[in-house]
A and B are shown apart, each in its own frame.
Chain A
Amino acid sequence: MVRFKHRYLLCEVVSDDPRCRLSLEDRVLGGLIRDTIARVHGTFGAASCSIGFAVRYLNAYTGIVLLRCRKEFYQLVCSALPFITYLENKGHRYPCFLNTLHVGGTIRTCQKFLIRYNRRQLLILLQNCTDEAEREAIQKSVTRSCLLEERSDEEELSDNGGEEEAAEAME
């Protein structure tokens, strides 16, 4: 079968500043990554990576980004991600870095990984939380996610978004 194969990079934007994640926009981030690839890999890198490049999914609450690139050049993109040191939006510069969580061949495998990763993150949040009200809210989210897991093997990303929003809103 002849088709264009892609690699989907699941990354997390980590920053000290809480305003950094909220100012995430797909076009701004896409432009920033393209500029970084042009700087690190030159004209050749910029041209080869930008053909199939797209920001597929962006979650401003958790800072999760899903990038798509062609399979032949995904290593160029992967190697350029550590060179991103700041995010610029409306004249404000926030220092941050991109953590690559998973590289998958399809969106579905990245989604499955993200679901498992978020469950683990909820448990870690439960361990680290200090407030009683927070603790109850997170425990509710955890039990809800376990129930959903029993009901169906595949969860929708929207359900996940609800849990994350609840967890993040509590922080």
Chain B
Amino acid sequence: AEEDFSWFDLTEIELLRVKCLPHTLDVLRASSLYTPFHIQLSHKTQRARAHRRFIELLPPESRNVEDSLRVRVSTEQILTLPELKANPFRERICRVFSTAPERDSLSFEDFLDLFSVFSDAATPEIKSHYAFRIFDFDDDGTLNKEDLKCLVNCLTGDGQDTQLTSSEMKQLIENILEESDIDRDGTINLSEFQHVISRSPDFTSSFKIVL
């Protein structure tokens, strides 16, 4: 009847129509909500694994399927994940993927979104789009010199002695703008960023977090 639902993808609505579901299939149900049309986590097992990891972050009283789909987890909790703990861009990542008004908490859908963009199956266009948003520290849609300065400081480390000197920083930012700012307006917009990324074949394999 529904020609575009394959055997393996039932929506939430359909599942709610069936009266009783065995308890062990709860995770199944949660992972089946997000059919492959939406996200690129290629194995449904990966989605189930993501759900398991998300549930671990919740307080013990809301560790069931229904609550996990409604509750939001604060950024501090997400930052305790081992995959994100050592990443200098972790706060930016949480901010970009959060759909809360104050951008400080993630729901399960945001969580899935995060790991689907960082998975193997996401296209380079999506990855570069989100990378741009992560690097855009002031959220204005372009990378200006301040953004680039913050970016380089994130890359080189936190301490005072690990950062580049101011003259080196200035020269580096000038070189970056010279190489990638094609229309010479002093900032790097999304298209220019994607053009730079397309020249580096390693980006797709390094912009990857595996659960």
On whether the two chains bind one another, the answer is no
B: which residues have CB within 8 A of A? none
A: which residues have CB within 8 A of B? none
